[in-house]
Structure 1
Amino acid sequence: MTLALTAEKIERHRFTGLKVENSTFHNCDFSGADLTGTEFIGCQFYERESQKGCNFSRAILKDAIFKNCDISMADFRNASALGIEIRSCRAQGADFRGTSFMNMITTRTWFCSAYITNTNLSYANFSKAVLEKCELWENRWIGTQVLGATFSGSDLSGGEFSSFDWRAANVTHCDLTNSELGDLDVRRVDLQGVKLDSYQVSLIMERLGVAIIG
């Protein structure tokens, strides 16, 4: 189905489980909508003239897929997004505060599931988000807000991290290989269990004034 909607309030079950391609949603309100298993492919959720995104707050995005979409400036606050896939998208300035990527089994045991790959996350807000052991590779993280976020054990390889505050987030046990690490200061960031490649290590050592021979 191909649609062009403007300023519409989306009914709760209108798109549940459907495949929606090459559609535009300008200033639409998906808040509280059930988008479980819904696929959006090649869709536009950002209106350039008004610079406004769509509202997905409190939406159910379990196993939802956004592929080759523009979800810039979208509001995902307090959405349920276990198993969400965001691939090859533009998501500049999107707000993920309070978004849950987590399945709580008991109060002490839980796991996360999300696939956010090859996506522009510049200036997006992941403050206090928990994205542990998730696939988060080949993303742009320029100026992304990550205060209190937990990425422990996730694959962050191939990322571009400029104007990124490494001290603000937990990146222990992450795969950072093949990433541009920007201003990473190993003296101030807990890098326990982190994977780095030899080129990254040589750059980090150079910054510390250590020369690596051979």
Structure 2
Amino acid sequence: MLIKTFENKRIGIDELTGQVISGVTFLNCDFSKVDLSETEFVDCIFYDSDRQLGCNFRSAKMKGASFKRCDLSVCAFNFVSALGLEISECKAQGADFSSASFMNVISHKSWFCSAYINKSNLAYTNFSKVNLERCELWDNRWTGANVTGASFSGSDLSGGEFNSFDWQSADFTGCDLTDSELGDLDIRTVNLEGVKVSRDQMSELASRLGINVLG
């Protein structure tokens, strides 16, 4: 199959809306403010390894969009509207999701979040001030990710890798952390109310405090 490549291209506002895009390479392309609602990208590349540049998705409409087995390294997703966004089996190292919205606001007191990010490399990705409460975020690599001011309350973070990770900088109450590598998590300094961990994980966390968990 011939793989198409687009370089330095400005994507039209509704050029790709609702389409299935497979096996396409986008080098330094501009998707800012583009409507990508329900658009599906499969086996696509958005990272220019020669110039170490990602694509620009700032302020794009990405409700229900999906990326499967794509390279999203260092792409900019600032201010995107991304309710229901799916990112699966992707490389997203260094991508910037700061100020992205995964929320559906019903009223000033009523809202919910929706995102499906799994089996992806999120090392050094920026999720600062992002609300990802009660979302499906399992089997990801979170090494060095910036989560300052973010909320993951009630989300499924099971099977994750959390090395070089600042647990104190975000809200993880009610999260499922089973089968995760918890890195330097200190149960004395992080609010773990409602968090799920396995007995082996609890034993490891307690052992750092000199406590032996029996049974």
TM-score tier after normalising by the smaller chain length: over 0.9
Question: Residue 205 of structure 2: SS of its match in structure 1?
Answer: helix
C-alpha distance in structure 2 between counterparts of 1:213 and 1:107, whole Å: 47
What's 1:149 paired with? Answer: 150
Q: In the alignment, is the contact (CA less than 8 A) between 1:2 and 1:20 conserved in 2?
A: no
Report the residue type matching 2:91 in the other structure.
Answer: R
Aligned length: 214
1:2 Cα deviation after fit? 4.9
Question: Residue 168 of structure 2: SS of its match in structure 1?
Answer: helix
Q: In the alignment, is the contact (CA less than 8 A) between 1:166 and 1:184 conserved in 2?
A: yes
Partner deviation per Cα, 1:78-110 (whole Å, 9 max, x = no partner)? 000000000000000000011000000001110
Structure 2 unaligned blocks of 5 or more: none
C-alpha distance in structure 1 between counterparts of 2:14 and 2:138, whole Å: 32
Structure 1 unaligned blocks of 5 or more: none
C-alpha distance in structure 1 between counterparts of 2:68 and 2:205, whole Å: 35
Percent identity over the alignment? 55
Report the residue type matching 1:114 in the other structure.
Answer: A
Give the 5 Å matches for 1:115-126. 115-126=116-127
What's 2:42 paired with? Answer: 41
1:3 Cα deviation after fit? 2.6
What's 1:105 paired with? Answer: 106
Partner deviation per Cα, 1:99-142 (whole Å, 9 max, x = no partner)? 00000000111000000000000000000000000000000000
Question: Residue 200 of structure 2: SS of its match in structure 1?
Answer: helix
What's 1:196 paired with? Answer: 197
What's 1:64 paired with? Answer: 65
What's 1:162 paired with? Answer: 163
Partner deviation per Cα, 1:38-90 (whole Å, 9 max, x = no partner)? 00000000011111000000000000010000000000000000000000000
Question: Residue 105 of structure 1: SS of its match in structure 2?
Answer: strand
Question: Residue 49 of structure 2: SS of its match in structure 1?
Answer: coil
Q: Which contiguous aligned blocks of 4+ residues in structure 1 show a shift greater than 2 angstroms?
A: none
Report the residue type matching 1:47 in the other structure.
Answer: D
1:211 Cα deviation after fit? 1.6
C-alpha distance in structure 1 between counterparts of 2:214 and 2:166, whole Å: 30
Question: Residue 48 of structure 2: SS of its match in structure 1?
Answer: coil
What's 1:16 paired with? Answer: 17
Report the residue type matching 1:50 in the other structure.
Answer: R
C-alpha distance in structure 1 between counterparts of 2:38 and 2:191, whole Å: 37
